[in-house]
Amino acid sequence: MVAPILYGPEHNQFINGDNYVIIAQQPAFITLVTFDIPATWEFAVCAYNQAAINRVANAEFYFERGNYSRSVEPWSHPAEVNTVAMAITGWYKAGVPDARKPWLQARTRQPTITETFDGNTRVLRQIVSFEDKPGNGYNAAHVTIEMRGSI
């Protein structure tokens, strides 16, 4: 029997299929991901190779960023020969850090893609927003994904 793949900051949660975003890094593009996490509650953003979402064992875990003691340093991924798809998830605790509280999956707003050109470079930009409280503000965390590749 294969053990289930678990997610979240403590790798102990199942994933809700409606609350994550798949980002596809185009072949030969580099990706830079930046984080803005103004949430007052404890919040974490985790990203996985899409294979993890599809329940493929040993799928790559890309990053975890967040507020309080977690880093918000940018994360980058080098250019690849093939498309790389990553699933970006948000997780929160209802309040400040407390080991007794469970991690809950945050609601996700699907991003729109903007495309610009900087000389001979094509730039694809997406912003993923997360919500951790009732309402539709989607202001707990914002993850900006910028992919750059030559044209």
Task: List pLDDT tens digits, range 19-78.
Answer: 899 999 989 999 999 999 999 999 999 998 887 666 655 567 899 999 999 999 999 999
Helix (H), strand (E) at residue 53: helix 50-53
On average, the pLDDT of the chain sits at 90
Q: Give the pLDDT confidence score for residue 103 in this predicted structure.
A: 95
Residue 134 per-residue DSSP state? S
CATH, domain range 20-150: 2.60.120.400
The predicted model scores a pTM of: 0.90
Residues 6+ apart with CB under 8 A from 144: 33, 34, 35, 36, 125, 126, 127
Taking the domains of the chain in order of start, what are their residue ranges?
20-150
Q: Give the pLDDT confidence score for residue 71 in this predicted structure.
A: 96
Residue whose C-alpha is closest to residue 31's, from 55, 20, 19, 47: 47
Give the Cα separation of 117 and 123 in Å (integer): 6
